[in-house]
């Protein structure tokens, strides 16, 4: 057998090709995992895609102009919760700090864990919607039948009235969606494990 036959037409052996393919797949998987937190960080900083921003303090400026904020709630597949805003909307002065609540209830017979993501519409308002306190990206575990009220403290940046793309916005919708988290998977208790070991003896 000639050297060309051993290595293939391209001059690379089968082992080398497999190694390259494996390295490519591993690299793509790694990039996918890294992309999620990096994209989340980018959105929170810039407000891209209707993502609100997180700030540490309230606005020093409060305008006489008001804006209406509506609240939306959704639950992803696989999470047996009821989730809704306590109030559907508020009308507030731009720059004024406001607190509202969302309420979640676990309707299942086992403890479950959810994690919320959020955005605002119109998307151009995301960079001006500032949250001081929220429950987003936090693992929330509810016991069977447990109900929990979760606060959101926020304000709309007064600069929203200066930007060409946002100066005519009169209503903003803040939307949260809770998805099931890995911690919701049942874990065998110590007692169950000891019982199984006893059966094997």
- Strands 66-75, 171-180: pairing is parallel
Q: How much of the chain exceeds pLDDT 90, in percent?
A: 58
What average pLDDT does this structure show over 81-95?
98
User: Comparing 146 with 34, which gets the higher pLDDT?
Assistant: 146
**Domains delineated in the chain:** 48-184 (2.60.370.10)
What average pLDDT does this structure show over 132-137?
90
Six token digits for residue 11: 């001059």
DSSP notation for the chain: --HHHHH-TTS--HHHHHHHHHHHHHHHHHHHHHHHHHHHHHHHHH-GGG--EE-SS--S---S-EEEEEEEEEE-TT--EEEEESSSEEEEETT--EEEEEEEEE-SSS-EEEEEEEEEESGGGGGGEEEEE--TT-EEEE-TT-EEEEEEEEEE-GGGGTSTTTTT--EEEEEEEEEE-GGGS----HHHHHHHHHHH-
- Phi/psi of residue 84, each to 5°? -160, 155
Spatial separation of the C-alpha atoms in residues 54 and 134, rounded to whole Å: 9
What mean pLDDT is reported for the chain? Answer: 78
């Amino acid at each position: 057998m000639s050297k060309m036959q051993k290595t293939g037409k391209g001059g690379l052996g089968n082992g080398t090709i497999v190694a390259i393919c494996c390295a490519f797949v591993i690299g793509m998987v790694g990039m996918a995992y890294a992309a999620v937190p990096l994209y989340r960080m980018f959105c929170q900083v810039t407000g891209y895609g209707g993502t609100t921003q997180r700030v540490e303090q309230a606005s020093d400026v409060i305008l006489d102009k008001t804006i209406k904020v509506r609240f939306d709630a959704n639950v992803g597949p696989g999470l047996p919760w009821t989730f809704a805003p306590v109030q559907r909307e508020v009308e507030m002065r731009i720059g004024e700090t406001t607190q509202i609540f969302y309420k979640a209830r676990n309707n299942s017979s086992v403890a479950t864990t959810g994690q919320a993501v959020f955005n605002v519409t119109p998307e151009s308002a995301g960079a001006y919607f500032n949250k001081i306190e929220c429950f987003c990206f936090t693992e929330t575990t509810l016991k069977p039948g447990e109900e929990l009220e979760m606060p959101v403290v926020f304000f709309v940046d007064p600069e929203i009235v200066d930007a060409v793309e946002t100066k005519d916005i009169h209503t903003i919708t803040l939307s949260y969606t809770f998805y099931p988290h890995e911690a919701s998977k049942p874990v065998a208790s110590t007692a169950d494990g000891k019982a199984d070991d006893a059966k094997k003896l």
